[in-house]
Chains A and B, each alone.
Chain A
Amino acid sequence: MQKMMEKRALELLADGTVSRVLGWSAGEFPYDMTPAVFETAEELQDGFVYNDFCGANLSKYLIKESRKEGKILVFLKPCDTYSFNQLLAEHRIIRDNIYVIGIECYGKADVEKLKAMGLEGITGIYMKDGEYTVETVYGSQTVKAYEAMAERCLACKSKKHVVYDELIGEDGEVVTDCNRFDMVEQLEAMTPEQRFAFWRGELSRCIRCNACRNVCPACSCEQCVFDNPNSGVAQKAAVNSFEENMFHIIRAFHVAGRCTDCGECSRVCPQNIPLHLLNRKFIKDMNAFYGEYQAGEDPDKKPPLGTYTLGDREA
């Protein structure tokens, strides 16, 4: 896969279709790739990497990158294409300056899962026949790929690319039985007291690093209200613990109807807070109240919270 992507990127750079390539650059370890822009063939050949640990959604970088001179090539996994479409619908990215290559995806790996199996001191990870052979300074171990799969990928909602200029690999289908609302249903079945305790427990770990907000493709305000000293609610850390909880709930409200459920918020949380569950609750409710809707699926489709019909619940 990496070879094919690199080859195509080199061709498009060489024939002048694009002047830059947005992808992932190699890290210190087999799993710590950083999103990067490559401008020359040498840079690509030197540092371009694509593997099962390239989980980062590159769509949001296009807000900045598509405003620069020349066209940029971006590699998008199926779930990333929903974020791309949503940003397009919100006029946050300039489509004409972007060349999208959709890349097939069968789920990304989460190195935290490998570490939780006691695999510390990782020096190499090799993928073969649905298994990872993980080499560490303490010995090597082989694990099934699905055992190391990121939580969000286990409930993948779609393997279909909703936007692309060309594809590498196969395009998939929307996954109708992804069970992504299972945990939401469990929370709904709780008593209010139990649910309150659950969220207080989870959100109490927040260190207010803002990683969830900053990585979120739906959080693209020029200046966030929580960073604006004139807003009256700007805060770098809570004076009382309830504020942190409110920050996340307010943020979930703010992205409701626009969140594509890409799962980046939970992926980046350094405190392992399952933030995506807040968003999924909103998605589930909107589906129930206003009919099935998937943000980012079709940029021309009217969003349920942005339209009014006589059939609405509150009409």
Chain B
Amino acid sequence: MKKLSLAKLNDLFAAIAQREALYLPVDNGTGKAEYTKWQEGTVYSTALNTGRSAKDFFFPQTENLMEFKMEGKRIDVIDTREECEDFVIFGVRACDAASFDILDRVYLTDPVDTYYKNRRQHGTVVTMACGRPAETCFCGTFGIDAADPKGDVTCWTVEDGYVLRANTEKGEALLAAVDGLLTDTDDKAVQAAQEKTRAILAKLPLAALSTEGVGQGLTKELFDRPEWASLSEACLGCGTCTFVCPTCQCYDIRDFDTGHGIQRFRCWDSCMYSDFTKMAHGNPRVSQLERFRQRFMHKLVYFPDNNDGLFGCVGCGRCLARCPISMNIVKVMKTLAKGGNK
């Protein structure tokens, strides 16, 4: 393990930024932190989490896939892709880091999404262990340890500085490149920090939330549960939950007429929308109940079904904080578990 003194944090950022683009949470002036490119003077925000999730780096909200140019009867297909440059994301929380595993399952299995893969290969993730989790946090429900996040490098804030541990080759390369700023250390301070965090985690209101009653193989039991009606009745059908979610992965592909040709792009889609997966006959899910059910069945049953039991939620709590009507996956899980979970 390596140690960075408190005063040298900015030097670390400068050293990384000299090699490659560095993104980190920065206060955006509305009381929220968002990932921002570092430049001299940028102040790292220690906010628990960013408003938007870190998935944006690998799966951006909109992305051009290709362009078509037409001249007479000739159509040129132009590959607009550019090889992505190396970049580092600093300060990713355990939940968001775990979301990358989920996105990888979707985009890196055959057929591999080369747009996503390109960015994954060039990105180095430095996670920051949590010290002050909130009431909306429940990553532990899905076996994620906020005190020991994954990523290429894991960072802990300790009393007099930061402790860093490389977890992958990419992480080792990053730490080697800034080795001049680091000193060797043992894991004592980390253990103390972890103990403190875990004691808080145990006291959080959702600490006892379990996945009992949801998961692999439960489609038949859960699909027709009458509670979907009351759970979905106030849903506005907006896309807030899907767009702040670090694991929501659905997209739509559309063509945009630029006047000089066609831009084919993809953009995030939401199963909450009336035109989601719209086909010739319309949306296969005609009511908001069906759309609402789809979102939660996908995360809690279908995704685990197809991915060895891995849930499609990381417990970041963004949907809990942001849903306009305060309906969310925790309320769904508790209702489906019916008493067994409260």
Stretch at the interface among A27-35, A81-89, A159-167: A27-35
B240 touches A270 (CB 8 A): yes
A sample of 26 inter-chain contacts (CB < 8 A) reads A28-B334, A29-B135, A29-B205, A34-B234, A34-B326, A34-B327, A36-B233, A112-B31, A121-B203, A123-B135, A138-B200, A205-B30, A210-B273, A215-B238, A215-B324, A229-B275, A235-B254, A236-B270, A237-B267, A238-B267, A239-B263, A239-B265, A267-B324, A270-B240, A272-B30, A272-B31
Question: From residue B195, how far is it (CB to closest CB) to chain A in Å?
Answer: 15
Q: Which of A28, A37, A61, A270 contacts B244 (CB 8 A)?
A: A270
Decide yes or no whether A271 CB sits under 8 A from chain B: yes
Q: Give Cα A225 to B99, complex, Å.
A: 34
Closest to A273 in B: B30
Question: From residue A99, how far is it (CB to closest CB) to chain B in Å?
Answer: 19
Q: Which B residues are CB-close (under 8 A) to A138?
A: 132, 200
Q: Which 10 A-B pairs have the closest CB atoms?
A: A237-B267, A268-B324, A32-B326, A211-B238, A214-B236, A272-B30, A35-B234, A209-B239, A270-B322, A209-B240
Decide yes or no whether B48 CB sits under 8 A from chain A: yes
B238 touches A271 (CB 8 A): no
Size of the chain A interface, CB-CB below 8 angstroms = 44
Decide yes or no whether A137 CB sits under 8 A from chain B: yes
Question: From residue B208, how far is it (CB to closest CB) to chain A in Å?
Answer: 12
A236 touches B51 (CB 8 A): no
A137 touches B200 (CB 8 A): yes
Question: Residue-by-residue, is A200-224 near B (CB-CB < 8 Å gives 1, otherwise 0)?
Answer: 0000010111110111000000010
Q: Which B residues are CB-close (under 8 A) to A210?
A: 238-239, 273
State the B residues within 8 Å of A (CB): 28, 30-32, 48, 51-52, 61-62, 132-136, 200, 203-206, 230, 233-234, 236-240, 242-244, 252, 254, 256, 263, 265, 267-270, 273-275, 278, 320, 322, 324-327, 330-331, 334
B230 touches A36 (CB 8 A): yes
State the A residues within 8 Å of B (CB): 27-29, 32-37, 56, 61, 112, 115-116, 120-123, 136-138, 205, 207-211, 213-215, 223, 227, 229, 234-239, 267-268, 270-272
Closest to A36 in B: B234
Q: Which B residues are CB-close (under 8 A) to A271?
A: 30, 51
Question: From residue A60, how far is it (CB to closest CB) to chain B in Å?
Answer: 9
Question: From residue A292, how far is it (CB to closest CB) to chain B in Å?
Answer: 31
Q: Which of B243, B273, B331 contacts A28 (CB 8 A)?
A: B331
Q: Give Cα A223 to B237, complex, Å.
A: 13
Q: Which B residues are CB-close (under 8 A) to A205?
A: 28, 30
Q: Give Cα A238 to B205, complex, Å.
A: 38
A121 touches B133 (CB 8 A): yes
Known A137-B204, A229-B275, A238-B62; contact A209-B238, beta-carbon cutoff 8 A: yes
Question: From residue A40, how far is it (CB to closest CB) to chain B in Å?
Answer: 12
Closest to A270 in B: B322
Q: Which B residues are CB-close (under 8 A) to A122?
A: 134-135
Q: Which A residues are CB-close (under 8 A) to B204?
A: 121, 137
Q: Which of B134, B136, B243, B263 contacts A207 (CB 8 A)?
A: B243
A33 touches B265 (CB 8 A): no
Known A34-B331, A36-B230; contact A120-B132, beta-carbon cutoff 8 A: yes
Q: Which A residues are CB-close (under 8 A) to B237?
A: 214
Q: Give Cα A34 to B320, complex, Å.
A: 11
Most chain-B CB neighbours within 10 Å: which of A56, A207, A268? A207
B239 touches A208 (CB 8 A): yes
Apart from A35-B234, A120-B48, A121-B135: 20 A-B pairs, beta carbons within 8 A? A28-B205, A28-B331, A29-B135, A32-B326, A34-B327, A36-B234, A56-B325, A120-B135, A121-B132, A121-B203, A137-B135, A137-B200, A205-B28, A207-B52, A208-B243, A211-B236, A214-B237, A223-B274, A236-B269, A268-B324
Known A28-B320, A207-B52, A211-B324; contact A227-B205, beta-carbon cutoff 8 A: no
B238 touches A214 (CB 8 A): yes
Closest to B330 in A: A28
B200 touches A121 (CB 8 A): yes
Q: Which A residues are CB-close (under 8 A) to B132?
A: 120-121, 138
Q: Which A residues are CB-close (under 8 A) to B48?
A: 120
Q: Which B residues are CB-close (under 8 A) to A236?
A: 252, 254, 267-270, 273
Q: Give Cα A236 to B134, complex, Å.
A: 32
A234 touches B243 (CB 8 A): no
Question: From residue B124, how far is it (CB to closest CB) to chain A in Å?
Answer: 26
Q: Give Cα A238 to B320, complex, Å.
A: 26
Question: From residue B240, how far is it (CB to closest CB) to chain A in Å?
Answer: 4
Question: From residue B341, how far is it (CB to closest CB) to chain A in Å?
Answer: 12
Question: From residue A44, how far is it (CB to closest CB) to chain B in Å?
Answer: 13
Q: Which B residues are CB-close (under 8 A) to A234?
A: 275
Closest to B64 in A: A239
A215 touches B236 (CB 8 A): yes
A116 touches B326 (CB 8 A): no
Question: From residue A180, how far is it (CB to closest CB) to chain B in Å?
Answer: 20
Q: Give Cα A186 to B275, complex, Å.
A: 40
Question: From residue A4, how far is it (CB to closest CB) to chain B in Å?
Answer: 23
